[in-house]
Structure 1
Amino acid sequence: MDPMLVSGFLIVLMLVLLALGVWVALTLMIVGYLGIVLFSGAPAGAIMATTIWGQSWSWALTALPLFIWMGEILYRSKLASEMFRGLAPWLAPLPGRLLHVNIASCGLFAAVSGSSAATTATIGRITIPELTRRNYDARAVIGTLAGSATLGFLIPPSIILIVYGVAADVSISRLFIAGILPGLMLVLLFMGYVAVWASFHKDRIPPAEPKMPFWQRVKATAGLIPIIGLIVCVIGSIYAGIATATEAAAVGVIGALVLSLLSGTLNWASFRDSVAGATRTTCMVTLILAGAAFLSVAMGFTGIPRNLASWVGSFELTQFQLLLALTVLFIVMGCFLDGISIVVLTASVIMPMVQAAGIDLIWFGIYLVVVIEMSQITPPVGINLFILQSMTDRDLLFVAKAAFPFFLLLVAATILLILVPEIATFLPSLMTRG
């Protein structure tokens, strides 16, 4: 049978199952199983069993539950409120004033949580009431939070980078290092936009508050020391080559428990809830990865990835044209699927094309995550939008409009990554030389 007809049938089947509300992991397994049964003579049951088992004990996955648990512990701590008090005195003089605290707080919390949704909920819980009380423009408050919280996907330790590393079989430690400069680039883009916007909309920014004496500002900054110390321990140990991603994750969990204990928020209830939350999330992600691994193997038996790569290759697209087409594809998928699902659904088909085009897989992982970040703030399935809608009682359209400028900034960041790939590859290259 024509490979294009086979792939079309399987894609339609997948979309129908997803539309019916079937779990993503089960959808992947069903499509993979039927693909082997209908279009291959291989033993589908045996392949499913061995693939899922092989995927479930992958050493690379051991970092996943630890980083998720670290984020769950910190989510229940006083870390976000300490960050607000520490950052506010220094960022208030900038054009846009305390709106920058949203961005900086999201960047810092992303560096210890690894989750965009957790970053949105945790930082929003602190900054929305504070900025609203100070009469900051509601659309600006929501927009900066929605856009900046996407940094949880990119700035290490990122859960989605772990998922990509497992799916693409590349070094998770190098992916973490590669995400640092693009993450800082996005922070600067967001803060630059806020400064320019505030300069043209001075009437929507409240008057400056009394300037805090220098030593009081220094004293307030003490609240930043714990989180910066944790970031240095986790990411610094990886960059220095003294710890793998899994070992750094264990250090992060211990550090998060100590910080939570010192802040007085660690008790049996919070500990139990953090373990339960991390277990639920880990099980969900691991099951999806197992389904994706099986689908990838099944696609290999049907020959779809090879034929699709040949079909795309027949168009003789340049790297730029291929990346442009993939960007549009991922943006459209992001309107209906979450980031992890996009990675696992496309890995088996996209990776052969990417490798055939000679694109560095470490760079592609960062590019992919930046594009997928857009899915967090695009309706109708933008997770950040739903979280902010529930926190602010605003309608989804209002929240989506507030986040739209940051969607455009993410598009600009994607273009910059394509034009200047060294933004993502420079630090990993230094790590390799070392």
Structure 2
Amino acid sequence: MTELSQAALLMVVLFIALGLGLWVALALLGCGLVGLLLFTSTPPGLLFATTVWSATASWALTALPLFIWMGEILYRTRLAEDMFAGLGPWVRGLPGRLLHVNVIGCGIFAAVSGSSAATAATIGKITLPELKSRGYDEAIAVGSLAGAGTLGLLIPPSIVMIVYGVAAQVSIVKLFTAGVLPGLMLMALFSGYIAFWAWRHPDRVPEDGESVPMAERFKRLRLLAPVTLLIIAVIGSIYAGIATATEAAAVGVVGALAIAGVGGSLTRASLAASLMGAVRTSCMIGFILMGAAFLTSAMSFTGLPATVAGWITGLGLAPWQLLTVLTAFFVLLGCFLDGISIVVLTTAVLMPAIQAAGIDPLWFGIYLVLVVEMAQITPPVGFNLFVIQGITGLQLFTLARMALPFFLLLVAATALITLFPQIVLALPAAMG
């Protein structure tokens, strides 16, 4: 049996396991086990033990549970509510008015949570009821939240960036730095579309009779002070070279606890709930990383990664053609897998081909985050869609239709960083 036939067989095994509803981590482990038993003489038990240890005993990976816990703590505070009150008066003069709070609020919360689902859930629970009560169009309100919620993956600190950095041996600090400009660009694209939509449909944007004096606007900005200080402490310490990503995560946890304590939301019950939420999410990600590492090692023993890389290289595709094919491939994967699973499953296999094509691994990490963001709002396995479905009760494919314009904006953002790679690489190069 040729290597390509082996690869096809393993892909069939993996998709059957996933289609049967098996946990992603178990499906990856099972697929690796089948590959080892059928195509190699390597003892699976010994490989599993050594692979799992090397995949999880990483100092860089310790930032992951800390950032997750920070997001869980903030999720249970008044942070999103305060952001709405502080930002609202400043966007009332823009076309689309309060709809922009979804984008700006998600951007701000993304800078302290690192999670797409947590960003969408936290901001959505505050903004959607408020926008609905004021008579805003439901489709654009929900769609903008679904799209802007994905900023949790791109604006640092990002859980997916940490996973990619560990898997691809790329500096997490440089990844965080590289995500800043694309994140701001994506926020501008989302707000620009909202303004364009409001200009095209003025009858579907309610009149806002509330007039807030300038003095009151500045007074309400004080509500944004806690999150602003936390962003400076976490992200600023990384960019200034004062702290590593892991140390900054610890600072973030302390800051989040302080915000919760001062705001009165830090109780024994909320602390326990945040810890359990962080443990569940961290264990899920760790389990997936273990399964993916075992599958990657098993595939390396069969020679599949080198074969696939050689096959892709042999096609003679230009870098932009390769990225076009990979984008379609990742969007297809996003219909069945969550973002973290996509990253850990594909990174090790694709990196040889990416490097052979002359594509910068740092740039590819941001590209991968963007296509994973698309996966967050594609049915039937779109995590952001699930989160918003829990808030609104709308059907999944109805939510996907509402989010479609913002999905297309993510595609446009991917095209822009491909045409102008300095959007990604300028800040890391400036840092040296």
Classify the TM-score, shorter chain. over 0.9
Q: Does 2:181 align with 1:181?
A: yes
Q: Which runs of 4+ in 1 moved over 6 A?
A: none
Q: How does 1:71-90 map to 2 (within 5 A)?
A: 71-90=71-90
Equivalent-residue separation in structure 1 for 2:54 and 2:342 (angstroms): 22
Question: Tell me, which stretches of 5 or more residues in structure 2 are unaligned?
Answer: none
Residue matched to 1:386: 386
Equivalent-residue separation in structure 2 for 1:169 and 1:291 (angstroms): 18
Residue matched to 2:234: 234
Residue matched to 1:58: 58
Aligned to 1:112, the other structure's residue is in SS state helix
Q: Does 2:192 align with 1:196?
A: no
Equivalent-residue separation in structure 2 for 1:43 and 1:163 (angstroms): 27
Following superposition, the deviation at residue 33 of structure 1 comes to: 2.0
Residue matched to 1:218: 218
Following superposition, the deviation at residue 280 of structure 1 comes to: 0.6
Following superposition, the deviation at residue 310 of structure 1 comes to: 1.1
**Matched-pair contact (CA < 8 Å) for 1:143–1:399:** yes
Q: How does 1:312-351 map to 2 (within 5 A)?
A: 312-351=312-351
Equivalent-residue separation in structure 2 for 1:209 and 1:396 (angstroms): 34
Equivalent-residue separation in structure 2 for 1:272 and 1:390 (angstroms): 23
Deviations 1:144-173 (A, max 9, x none): 111100101111111111111111111111
- The sequence identity of aligned pairs, in percent, is 59
Aligned amino acid, residue 128 of structure 1: L
Q: Tell me the C-alpha RMSD between the 2 structures.
A: 0.9
Following superposition, the deviation at residue 295 of structure 1 comes to: 1.2
**Matched-pair contact (CA < 8 Å) for 1:68–1:278:** yes
Residue matched to 2:148: 148
Following superposition, the deviation at residue 209 of structure 1 comes to: 2.5
Aligned to 1:42, the other structure's residue is in SS state coil
Equivalent-residue separation in structure 2 for 1:166 and 1:391 (angstroms): 33
Equivalent-residue separation in structure 2 for 1:37 and 1:351 (angstroms): 25
Residue matched to 1:264: 264
Equivalent-residue separation in structure 2 for 1:294 and 1:359 (angstroms): 26
Equivalent-residue separation in structure 2 for 1:61 and 1:237 (angstroms): 18
Q: Does 2:110 align with 1:110?
A: yes
Q: How does 1:33-48 map to 2 (within 5 A)?
A: 33-48=33-48
Equivalent-residue separation in structure 2 for 1:7 and 1:398 (angstroms): 36
**Matched-pair contact (CA < 8 Å) for 1:168–1:351:** yes
Aligned amino acid, residue 47 of structure 1: L
Residue matched to 2:373: 373
Question: Tell me, which stretches of 5 or more residues in structure 1 are unaligned?
Answer: none
Equivalent-residue separation in structure 2 for 1:241 and 1:374 (angstroms): 32
Q: How does 1:270-309 map to 2 (within 5 A)?
A: 270-309=270-309
**Matched-pair contact (CA < 8 Å) for 1:94–1:195:** yes
Equivalent-residue separation in structure 2 for 1:319 and 1:10 (angstroms): 27
Following superposition, the deviation at residue 394 of structure 1 comes to: 2.1
Aligned to 2:242, the other structure's residue is in SS state coil
Equivalent-residue separation in structure 1 for 2:358 and 2:269 (angstroms): 51
Residue matched to 1:411: 411
Following superposition, the deviation at residue 239 of structure 1 comes to: 0.6
Q: Does 2:67 align with 1:67?
A: yes
Deviations 1:280-307 (A, max 9, x none): 1101101111111111111111000111
Equivalent-residue separation in structure 2 for 1:200 and 1:168 (angstroms): 44
Following superposition, the deviation at residue 185 of structure 1 comes to: 0.4
Equivalent-residue separation in structure 1 for 2:234 and 2:42 (angstroms): 44
Residue matched to 2:132: 132
TM-score scaled by structure 2? 0.99
Following superposition, the deviation at residue 254 of structure 1 comes to: 0.2
Aligned length: 432
